[in-house]
Structure 1
Amino acid sequence: MLTPEQTVQEILDKRPWMVGISASAQDNITATFEVVGLLRKNGYMGHITIGGHFPTYEHEKILTHVPGIDSVVRGEGEITVVELAEYVKDGKPLDDVKGITFRNRFGEIVVNPDRPLVEDLDTLPLPHRDTIGILLEKNRRISMLASRGCYARCSFCSIQTFFNWRPRRVRKVEHVVREMLQLYKKYGVRKFKFVDDLFIDPSKKSRDWILSFCEKIKKAGMNDLNLWLQVRAVCVREDIFLALKEIGLKKIFLGLESGHADSLKRYQKDITPEQNVEAVRILKKVGIPEISIGMMPFEPEVSLEGMKENIEFLKKLGTFDIRDVTGKFKPYSGTSLTEKLLAEGRIKRKNWYDLGDYDFTDPRVGQLYHMVMSYFGHAKPSLKHIYQMDYRMRKIEGRVMQPGLNSEESEYKESYLALRRDIERFIQDHGEMMLQLVEGTIEAIESGMTPSMEQEWMRKSEKKFHQAEQLTIPLFERISVLESQLGLVKKEPHSLHVAEVKVLLNQNSKSLE
C-alpha cells in the first residue's frame, strides 16, 4: 500500500490533467484529504474530483471545507466521470454534467441534477484489468459484479440511499459467465470474489438466476473455481447452496449483526436470531468450507442482558472470530440509524468528516465496551500474526492447490491443508478466548465492578493474549518449512518470519515482567 506521499509522487510523475479519487470508506477519508492537500502543495493545477458513498452524502460539505477538490461525483460514477472528463478537457462549463456537485469560477457551490441510474448493467463496459497480474501473483481473488443494490432496509446500511431506493438490478447470466470465462482463459483466473451488495435475494427470480448461473458455469467447462460471495441469512436455502458448492463456492460472508432480537429489530434486519442460526446450520450441512459472519453486538440501545444473549448466540453458532465479539455499529453517513442519532444529539464528532461516536443508553454497556477495547488492544499482536500467516499461506496455496500435481507436490498439498486446519483452529480459539473474557467481565459488572477488579481483568487479558502469541511460533515454523520446500523463501513485505516472531515475543515478555 502506498503512503500519501508516494501516491502524490506517482500522480505528479504522470502529470494527468484530471485526478479522480474513489473514497467510499469514511474511516479513511482523512488520507484522501491529505493526498489532495499534498497535490496542491506540490503545484498540481489540474481538476480533482472525488466519488463514493461518503462524498455522495457529504458533497456540499466537502467542497465547502476542502478547497483543493473541484467536484464531487454523486452516486454511480461510470457515465458521469467520463462526461466530466470530456468537459474538463475541453474547458467547457460543468453546469450540464448531471450527477456532480462542483465549485464554479465564482467560488459558488453548484449542485447539478442527479443522473439516472444505469438501467441495464450489461451496457457498461467491462473493467480494465490492468492490475490483475499483481493480484494473481499474490493469489488474491479477482472481483466480479453480478448485481447492484439490495432489497432490504437495514438501518445501519447506506446502500439503499446510495441507489435512491431503487430495486436491485441484476446482470444477465450469460454476460456474467462470459466475463468469467474470458478471465479464466486469458489470465488463468480461478478465484473469484463477487462484490455485489447482495448476491442472492429471496425471490423465485433470483433462485432461477442462481440455478441457471450454476448450469452455465458447468457447461463452460470451468470446473475448478474458487468462489466467494456475501448474502443475508434469510436468503440461505439448501438447494441453492448445494448448486453453488458444486461449481466451487468455497467462502461465504453472512451478515448476521446480532443474536439479540431487540437489536435486530433496531437494525431493521427483519429476521430473528433463530433464523440466523438456521442459516449457519444449513451452510455447514451443505459443506461450505469457510463461513465468515459479520457481527455488531454493540449498538446504542443494547443492554447488558442483550450482550449476554449475543454471547450465547455466538456459542451456539460455533463459527466466529475475535472481531465478531467486539463489533460495534459505526455511525456512517447516509444510514437511517445515524440520522436518528444525529437528530437526538447523541453523536459526538471532532469535526464534520469524523465518523464520530456515541454513548450507550446503558452505561454498564459503555463500561463493558471500554474494557473489551482494552482486551482488543492486548490481542492486536496475535491478530497481526494471524494476518501475516494468512498472507504467506495464500502464496503457498497458489502453488499446492493447482490441478495436475506430481506425487511430491501432493505431499506438500496435504501438509498445507493440515497446517490450514491448525491455523483455523487457532483463530477459533483466539475468538473463544475473547468470548470468555467478555462473558466473565459482564458477570463482574453485574456484581459491581471495582477499580481493582477492572485492573485484574486487564492483567488476565494481557496474559492470555501473550500466551496466544507464543502459540503462533510453531505455526510460523511450519509455514517456513513449506515455503523452503516450495522455493518460496524470498521474504515478502509485511510478513514476519520465525526469528522475528521470537524477538517480538521476547520483547513483549519483558514488558509483562
Structure 2
Amino acid sequence: MFEVKILLVHCKSSIGNELSHPKLEHLGLGYLASVLRQHGYEVMILDAHLLGFSAKETVEKILQEEYGLIGFTIFSTNLECTMQVISLLRSHGARTHIALGGYFPTFLYKELFTHYSGFDSIVRGEAEYAFLELAKKIENSQDWRRIQNIAYLEDGKIITNPMRPLIHDLDELPFPSRDTLPDLIKAGNPVISVSPSRGCYMNCSFCSIISFYGLSDGAKWRERSPENIVDEIELLLNSEIAKEHSIDYIWFAVDEFIGHKKNGKTHAQRIAEEILKRRLNFRFEIACRADRVEEELFEPLFEAGLRSVYMGVESFVQNQLDSFNKNCTVGDNERAIDILEDLGIDYTLGTIVFSPETTFEEFKANQEAIRQIGYRHVTVPLARLKLFKGTSLEREMRQSEGSRGFSRQSYLSNRQLRYDLESLTESQFDKIYDYEFSDLQAAKLWEILSTCRESNEELVAAIIELHTNQLIDGVTFWKLVFLVRDALALYVDEAIGAVQDDIDSQQVIEKHFERFQRSKKELRQFRTFLESAEPETEIFYFTLNEQKILYDNRTAQLPVIPGLEKEIAEKEYRKRGDILTIG
C-alpha cells in the first residue's frame, strides 16, 4: 500500500423524500475507489448522505483518520453541507489536499472559487484517471497543477487545464467498489446499482449531460459489453451479502439504457439474451426515452426481469416538447405507456409542467393527460423546470434574444440570471438561475401549487416514516401514498378555478394549508394508534386530504379502494415477488 490514504465523501443532501429520491449507492465514488485500489491505494468511502450524518458528524468521522487526499462529490443539493464540512475541517487544522468533483463543480467552478474557499482543486468531467493522477502527484510530492481536467486558483486567477479524452472502452474499468452496500441495506433499500453505459446521445435543452461529456473528445454515449455487465451482476448476486439479505433487485443507474438507433437497441437485446442464457433470476429497473419503447424489444427485457421503467416524458403538449428539444412527440409518450401497461411493466414519469414559456392552456392540457394516467406515476408532481448551467437553455437565455425567441427582460428575475452563491442556502438554490413566467396566469398557478406540492410531499414523507418504522405494511403504504398523490387533482382544480375566477392566491393557499394541517394532525394520531393499539380489537378512522379512511388493525389493511387494487398488487409483486390477494 502507498502512504497516501484517500477518502471519498458524499455529504448529506436535502432532496425531496425517499419515494421520489430513494437512497442508493454512489457509483461514481465506487468507480473512483476501485480504480485507485487497482493501483495500490488505500481508499475509504464515507457516504454521509446514506448514513444520515450532519455536517458536524461527518467532520467528526473524517477526523478519526489522517488522509493525504480527500475528494468530495458535489450536487446542487449538498453544496452548503459540503462547504460547511470543508470549513470545519480547515478550522480543526486539516491540511489535506481537498478536491471537488461532479456535474455541479464541473460547470460552476468559477463561482465556487469566487465565493468559497478551503478546497485546493476541482476535477472536471469524467474523473477516474484525472483523480488517479492527482493521487500519484500528491503521493510523490510533485506539482499537480498541470493535470488534465483540473481547475485551480493561482495568484488569485482561476486556471482550467485541457480535458483528457473520454474513456473509450468502459470494459477496461474495474467493477465499482461496494463499500456502502451494507449501509444501504441498513437504510432499508436493498437495491444493487449497476452502470451499463455512460452519457446520452440526445440534446434536451434543459439537460447538462451532453454538455458534461461534450467537454472531452469521444462518443457522448458509450456502452459496456453485455458480457461485462452481466458478469458484474452475476458476481453481485452470488456475493455473500446478496445471499444473506436476499437481494434480487437491480437498478441500472444510467442516463439512457437504450442507446442510439439500431446499435442501442441491439445492445439492450443482447443484455436480455445474456441474462436469460445464464438463467439469472432477478428483477431490474431502467431509464429510457419514450420513443425507444418498442414491444419487440421490451418483451425479452420483461422476460429477463424488467419490472419498472423511468421515462422523462416531460410533457403531453407538443409545443413544450419542441421547446425542450426532445425530438419526440406526444404520441411517442402515449404509445410507450400503452406498451408498458400491456406488458405489465410498472412505470414512473418525469414531467416538467412549469417552464418559462408555459401557458395557462398548456398547463391545463398537461394536467388532464396526467390525471388520466394517475399522479401516482409521476416522480415529482407539478415540477418546475430548473435552469442549470451547462444546458443549452441556460446559454440561450443568457443571450438577449435566443433562437426560439427567449427574451432576457421577459423571463429573468431582475433582468439577469443570478450567479450569487454568497449566503446561499439549499432552499434558495433554485434562484441561482431564476426566471419569471411569460404567462401571468401560469405564474399565479405556480404560486399556489408550489405550496400545495411541498405540503403534499411532507405528508408522503410522514407515510414513508410509518413504513420505515414497520408500523404499516407495503400494501397500506402504497394505498396511503396513492391517496395523497391523487389528491393533487383536487388542488389543481382549485388552482385553475382561482385563476379563471380571479380569486386571490393567498386565499386558496390558506384554504389548502388548513386542510394540510388537519391531515398532518390526523396522521400523527394514526401513528399514535399504531404504536399503542390492541391488534385484536382496534379499528381507526381518520381523514387524509378530505378522504375518510378506515384502518382495521386486526387485518392491518385499509378498506378496498376501487381502481387501485391491481396496481398495488403489481407494486408489491415487483418488490416482493409474490402475488397478493387484496380486498
Distance 2:105 2:509 in 1: 42
In structure 2, what is the equivalent of residue 16 of structure 1? 67
Counterpart-to-counterpart distance in 1, 2:225 and 2:398: 40
CA contact (8 A) 2:375 2:488 kept: no
Range that drifts further, 80-89 or 132-141: 132-141
Paired residues of 1:325 and 1:435 also in contact (CA < 8 A) = no
- CA separation of 1:286/1:323 partners in 2, compared to 1, >3 Å: closer, same or farther? closer
Matched-pair contact (CA < 8 Å) for 2:494–2:508 = no
Cα contact 1:321–1:432 (8 A) shared by 2: no
Give the CA deviation at 1:291.
Answer: 1.4
Counterpart position of 2:57? 6
Asked if residue 272 in structure 1 is aligned to residue 341 in structure 2, the reply is: no
Partner residue of 1:313 out of 369, 387, 401: 369
The alpha-carbon deviation at position 383 of structure 1 amounts to 1.6
Q: CA 1:4/1:278 → structure 2, altered by over 3 Å: closer, same or farther?
A: same
Larger proportion of helix: 1
Instruction: In structure 2, give the amino acid aligned to 1:369.
Output: W
Per-residue Cα deviation, 1:370-426 (whole angstroms, up to 9, x for no partner): 111222243244121233245356xx9xxxxxxxxxxxxxxxxxxx9xx53443333
Displacement of 1:461 in angstroms is 5.6
Q: Name the aligned partner's letter for residue 518 of structure 2.
A: H
Confirm or deny: 8 A CA contact 1:228 1:250 kept in the other structure: yes
1:471 positional shift? 6.7
State the secondary structure of the residue aligned to 1:163: helix
Q: 1:273 to 1:126 in 2, by over 3 A?
A: same
Q: CA deviation at 1:278?
A: 1.6
Offset of 1:48 from its aligned partner?
Answer: 0.6
Q: Counterpart in 2 of 1:214?
A: 272
Structure 1 residue 195, shift from structure 2 partner: 0.8
Which residue number corresponds to residue 193 of structure 2?
Answer: 143
Cα gap change, 1:310 to 1:390, in 2 (>3 Å)? farther
Contact between 2:495 and 2:508, CA under 8 Å: does it hold in 1? no
Aligned equivalent of 1:374, options 426, 441, 451? 451
2:258 maps to what in 1? 200
Assess if the C-alpha contact under 8 Å between 1:27 and 1:355 holds in 2: no
From 427, 432, 436, the counterpart of 2:481: 427
Q: For residue 136 of structure 2, what is the aligned residue in structure 1?
A: 86
- Partners of 2:393 and 2:381 lie apart in 1 by 21
Tell me the distance in 2 between the aligned counterparts of 1:429 and 1:236: 29
- Shift of the 469–96 alpha-carbon distance from structure 1 to 2, 3 Å rule, reads same
Retained in 1: the 8 A contact 2:451–2:509? no
| Correspondent of 1:252 among 304, 309, 316 | 309
Task: Please name the residue that 2:159 is paired with.
Answer: 110
- % identical equivalent positions: 28
Q: Normalization by structure 1: what TM-score?
A: 0.82
User: Do the aligned partners of 1:375 and 1:462 also contact (CA within 8 Å) in 2?
Assistant: no
Instruction: Give unpaired runs (5+ residues) of structure 1.
Output: 397-415, 484-497, 499-513
Instruction: After TM superposition, give the deviation of residue 206 of structure 1 in Å.
Output: 1.9
Counterpart of 1:180 in structure 2 is: 233
Residues 1:124 and 2:176 are matched in the alignment: no
Query: Are the aligned partners of 2:90 and 2:118 in contact in 1 as well (CA < 8 Å)?
Result: yes
Q: In structure 1, what is the Cα distance between the partners aligned to 2:497 and 2:288?
A: 34
Distance 1:47 1:202 in 2: 40
Matched position secondary structure for 1:426: helix
Q: Deviations over 1:93-127 (max 9, x none)?
A: 124311111234x4543211111110001111211
Equivalent residue runs for 1:282-301 within 5 Å: 282-288=339-345, 290-301=346-357
Q: 2:248 aligns with which of 190, 194, 198?
A: 190
* Equivalent pair of 1:226/1:249 in contact (CA under 8 Å): yes
Show CA shifts across 1:185-221 (max 9, x none).
1132422111111111352222222222112112223
- Output the CA distance in 1 between the equivalents of 2:58 and 2:220: 37
Q: 1:242 to 1:438 in 2, by over 3 A?
A: same
Letter in 1 for 2:322: K
Matched, 1:328 2:384: yes
**8 Å Cα contact 1:382/1:469 also seen in 2:** no
The number of residues matched between the two structures is 454
Change (3 A) 1:341 1:391: farther
| Per-residue Cα deviation, 1:35-56 (whole angstroms, up to 9, x for no partner) | 1111111111111100100111
**Contact 1:293/1:320 (<8 A) preserved:** no
Q: Which whole-Å deviations, capped at 9, do the CAs of 1:484-512 have from their partners, x for residues lacking one?
A: xxxxxxxxxxxxxx9xxxxxxxxxxxxxx
> 1-side partners of 2:522 and 2:386: how far apart?
33
For structure 1, which segment, 350-359 or 369-378, has the greater mean C-alpha deviation from structure 2 after superposition?
350-359
Name the counterpart of 2:202.
152
Partner of residue 147, structure 2: 97
The corresponding residue for 2:6 is: none
Deviations 1:65-86 (A, max 9, x none): 3221110101000110010111
Instruction: Give the match's secondary structure for 1:270.
Output: coil
Q: What is the CA-CA distance between 1:91 and the residue it aligns to?
A: 1.6
C-alpha distance in 2, partners of 1:50/1:167?
23
Partner residue, 1:494? none
Aligned residue type for 1:462: E
User: 2:508 matched to 1:439?
Assistant: no
Determine the C-alpha separation between the residues in 2 that align with 1:215 and 1:53.
Answer: 34
The answer on whether the counterparts of 2:252 and 2:287 sit within 8 Å (CA) in structure 1 is: yes
Distance 1:325 1:462, change over 3 A: farther
Equivalent position SS for 2:386: coil
Conserved in 1, the CA contact under 8 Å of 2:310 and 2:350? yes
Runs of 5+ unmatched residues, structure 2:
1-51, 400-407, 536-550, 552-583
* Structure 1 counterpart SS, 2:88: helix
Q: 1:129-175 CA deviation, whole Å, 9 max, x = no partner?
A: 11222223434211100000111110110000000073310000110
Q: In structure 2, what is the equivalent of residue 466 of structure 1?
A: 518
Q: Tell me the SS of whatever aligns to 1:229.
A: strand
Contact in 2 for aligned 1:59/1:101 (Cα 8 Å): yes
Give, in angstroms, the shift of residue 32 of structure 1: 1.6
**Root-mean-square deviation (CA), in Å?**
2.7
List structure 1 segments (4+ residues) > 6 angstroms apart after TM superposition.
Answer: 471-481
TM-score by length of 2: 0.72
Q: 2-side partners of 1:211 and 1:227: how far apart?
A: 14
